[in-house]
């Protein structure tokens, strides 16, 4: 018995006066919602298939198309949303697990929106970033508690002991882990080129490193995940940083499957697995069942690369994140990356994405404070990620305690993503989350890189303005400087965890 409970979510409005029947929308729609009827010689839309990715509206030469949300057809209920009803419908039909793409879309509090920044007035000056120096350079890596120096006979002072290698970022914004497979090659190359141009890093994710991209190694974080796809000595040697992926904010405790149909020739080569097989990355590394095992793997990659590069460990923000972060620091990681529950993904079980993990703001604040309580915060770098939408979010993250942040979703939006959340279908009309060559070719690495460079340039400029306003001319003076944050609309407990005062409270 077929009971279709999935009604169309969107309606595509076609202005007949404007439509010139050019069929661009038909060719552009990756989801087959736009159809050409040759008998009628007319284009029509199957609303049920529309995901509101806006590819058609963006490319329609006469602006004949618009998309609107269909009105709620269900009887109003404070408990049962349209999603709940339709999810059950789909599951009753298929017996399957619900999948989603991108980050958690529930309207849970975004703490960035409850935090406000400071600016100088009278008692100290704001700084004009256009004319005065303003430094965003950040080093990620392990630092000694105390620097050892020696004075030479001629009176000059030198380092007595070199620091462990660190990586230099010209802006404290990196592109987060997105594997070749989950995204198209063009996006990978866009990210790599942009990172190289700006002087920051992109992250391969767990899908290996394409041969063509090895030349961007100095701007690459190579990830080692449970499936070890594409991981060999050369891969480890190629990157500037090695990141051990423990978890991901969108799906803490859950692994990933790259479905076999996406494992093309090129992906097969990059991941070092046969064409067409599922690529399974279960949640745990089977050599990490405990914190001392993480230490073992950290030092395995350090030995294998002769201690020439920092090692990061990435975890999802979960309830005990602060203690875990402390354990990671003590396990020898040089960088701790924490991914909050709004972090993106190519595919995650919907229930996991929407219900597991905690917001990055609270996780970051708790981890930074814990590391400080233990006196080891300065010895490691802390990277935050998971749903950063604008430069103000990241300035607030630095003030809470982050050394740098990762952006994933924002980077994809810069190259066309409209957050339709259908990444896992492989039909992405924008050519981003797809391996279909006809779709993937839509991302031109040159244009993609340019748009990403523009984004980072714009955000850097905005960061400088905000720093200047606070009277700070170097990013490290904002790091963990929570006195520059004030809360609005938060409970005392939330303020306490965030370590911020309420707006209106004095310094």
Q: Which of residues 248-287 bind another protein (CB under 8 A)?
A: 257, 259-260, 268-269, 272-274, 276-280, 282, 286-287
The DSSP result for 110-129, as a single string, is: -GGGGEEE----SSS----T
Q: Which long-range contacts (CB under 8 A, 24 or more apart) does 436-441 make?
A: 436/30, 439/30, 439/184, 440/184, 440/185, 440/186, 441/186
Which residue in 482, 487, 490, 495 binds another protein (CB under 8 A)? 482
**Identity of the residue, 150 or 454, whose beta carbon is nearer to another protein in the bound complex:** 150
**Identity of the residue, 44 or 436, whose beta carbon is nearer to another protein in the bound complex:** 436
The DSSP result for 425-489, as a single string, is: GT--TTSSS---HHHHTTS-HHHHHHHHHHHHHHHHHHHHHHHHHTT-SBGGGTTT-GGGEEESS
**Identity of the residue, 61 or 276, whose beta carbon is nearer to another protein in the bound complex:** 276
Q: What distance lies between CA 291 and its chain's CA centroid?
A: 25
**Identity of the residue, 313 or 449, whose beta carbon is nearer to another protein in the bound complex:** 313
* Binding of residue 7 to another protein (CB under 8 A): no
3-class state of residue 19 by DSSP: coil
Query: CB 253 → another protein: shortest distance, Å?
Result: 17
**Identity of the residue, 38 or 156, whose beta carbon is nearer to another protein in the bound complex:** 156
* Binding of residue 98 to another protein (CB under 8 A): yes
Q: Which of residues 390-429 bind another protein (CB under 8 A)?
A: 399, 424
Report angle CA 251, 235, 171 to the nearest 5 degrees: 65
- Going by C-alpha positions, the residue among 413, 429, 347 that lies closest to residue 100 is 347
> Could you identify the residue written with the tokens 């999935």?
6
Query: CB 9 → another protein: shortest distance, Å?
Result: 16
Q: Which of residues 10-29 bind another protein (CB under 8 A)?
A: none
Token digits of residue 340: 């909050």
Q: Which of residues 458-477 bind another protein (CB under 8 A)?
A: 470-474, 476-477
Query: CB 442 → another protein: shortest distance, Å?
Result: 25
Classify residue 408 by its DSSP letter: S
Query: CB 150 → another protein: shortest distance, Å?
Result: 10
**Distance, CA of 380 to CA of 157 (rounded, Å):** 25
Query: CB 183 → another protein: shortest distance, Å?
Result: 19
* Binding of residue 165 to another protein (CB under 8 A): no
Query: CB 24 → another protein: shortest distance, Å?
Result: 32
* Binding of residue 375 to another protein (CB under 8 A): yes
* Binding of residue 370 to another protein (CB under 8 A): no
CA-based end-to-end distance of the chain: 66
Query: CB 281 → another protein: shortest distance, Å?
Result: 9
- Going through 124-240 in order, the beta strands assigned E by DSSP cover 138-140, 149-151, 157-159, 167-169, 173-175, 202-203, 220-224
Query: CB 119 → another protein: shortest distance, Å?
Result: 10
Query: CB 177 → another protein: shortest distance, Å?
Result: 18
Which residue in 22, 108, 390, 483 binds another protein (CB under 8 A)? 483
Q: Which of residues 292-321 bind another protein (CB under 8 A)?
A: 296-297, 299-301, 303-307
**Identity of the residue, 162 or 491, whose beta carbon is nearer to another protein in the bound complex:** 162
Q: Counting Cβ atoms within 10 Å, is residue 318 exposed (0-12), middle (13-18) or buried (19+)?
A: middle
Q: Which stretch of DSSP H or E encloses residue 382?
A: strand 381-385
**Distance, CA of 418 to CA of 439 (rounded, Å):** 15
Which residue in 166, 196, 201, 358 binds another protein (CB under 8 A)? 166
* Binding of residue 143 to another protein (CB under 8 A): yes
Whole-number Cα distances in Å, 345 to 219, 281, 349, 421? 22, 14, 10, 9
**Identity of the residue, 79 or 162, whose beta carbon is nearer to another protein in the bound complex:** 162
* Binding of residue 158 to another protein (CB under 8 A): yes
Number of residues in contact with another protein under rule CB under 8 A: 91
**Distance, CA of 65 to CA of 59 (rounded, Å):** 9
Q: Which of residues 176-235 bind another protein (CB under 8 A)?
A: 226-229, 231-234
* Binding of residue 480 to another protein (CB under 8 A): yes
Listed ranges 64-72, 73-81, 91-99, 182-190: which one lies at the site for another protein (CB under 8 A):
91-99
């Amino acid at each position: 018995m077929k009971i279709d409970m999935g009604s169309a979510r969107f309606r595509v409005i076609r202005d007949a006066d404007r439509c010139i029947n050019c069929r661009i929308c038909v060719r552009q729609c990756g989801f087959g919602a736009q159809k050409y009827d040759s008998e009628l010689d007319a284009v029509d839309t199957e609303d049920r298939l529309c995901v509101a990715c806006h590819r058609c509206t963006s490319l329609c030469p006469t602006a004949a198309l618009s998309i609107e949300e269909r009105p709620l057809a269900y009887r109003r209920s404070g408990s049962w949303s349209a999603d709940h009803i339709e999810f059950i419908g789909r599951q009753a039909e298929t017996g399957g697990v619900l999948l989603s793409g991108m980050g958690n879309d529930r309207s849970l509090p975004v703490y960035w929106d409850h935090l406000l920044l400071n600016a100088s007035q009278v008692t100290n000056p704001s700084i004009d970033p256009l004319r005065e120096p303003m430094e965003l350079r950040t080093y990620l890596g392990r630092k000694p508690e105390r620097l050892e120096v020696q004075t030479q006979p001629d009176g000059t002072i030198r380092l007595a002991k070199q620091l462990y290698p660190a990586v230099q970022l010209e802006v404290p914004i990196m592109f987060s882990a997105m594997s070749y497979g989950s995204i198209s090659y063009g996006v990978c190359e866009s990210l790599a080129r942009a990172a190289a141009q700006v002087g920051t890093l992109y992250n391969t994710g767990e899908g290996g490193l394409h041969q063509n991209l090895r030349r961007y190694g100095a701007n690459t974080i190579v990830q080692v995940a449970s499936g070890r796809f594409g991981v060999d000595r050369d891969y480890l040697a190629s990157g500037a940083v090695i990141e051990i992926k423990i978890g991901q904010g969108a799906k803490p405790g859950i692994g990933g499957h790259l479905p076999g149909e996406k494992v093309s020739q090129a992906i097969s080569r990059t991941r070092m697995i046969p064409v067409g097989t599922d690529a399974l990355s279960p949640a745990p590394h089977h050599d990490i069942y405990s914190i001392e095992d993480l230490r073992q793997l950290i030092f395995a990659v350090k030995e294998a690369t002769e201690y020439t590069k920092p090692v990061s460990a990435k975890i999802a923000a979960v309830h005990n994140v602060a203690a875990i972060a402390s354990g990671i620091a003590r396990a020898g990681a040089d960088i701790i990356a924490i991914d909050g529950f709004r972090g993106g993904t190519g595919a995650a079980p919907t229930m996991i994405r929407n219900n597991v993990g905690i917001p990055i703001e609270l996780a970051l604040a708790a981890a930074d404070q814990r590391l400080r309580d233990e006196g080891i915060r300065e010895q490691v770098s802390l990277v935050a990620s998971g749903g950063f939408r604008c430069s103000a979010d990241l300035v607030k993250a630095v003030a809470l305690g982050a050394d740098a942040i990762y952006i994933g979703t924002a980077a994809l939006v810069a190259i066309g993503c409209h957050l339709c959340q259908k990444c896992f279908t492989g039909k992405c009309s924008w050519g981003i989350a797809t391996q279909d060559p006809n779709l993937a070719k839509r991302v031109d690495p040159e244009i993609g890189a340019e748009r990403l460079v523009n984004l980072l340039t714009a955000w850097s400029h905005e960061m400088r303005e905000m720093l200047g306003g606070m009277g700070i001319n170097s990013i490290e003076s904002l790091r963990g400087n929570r006195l520059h944050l004030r809360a609005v609309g938060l409970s005392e407990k939330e303020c306490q965890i965030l370590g911020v005062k309420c707006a209106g409270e004095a310094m």
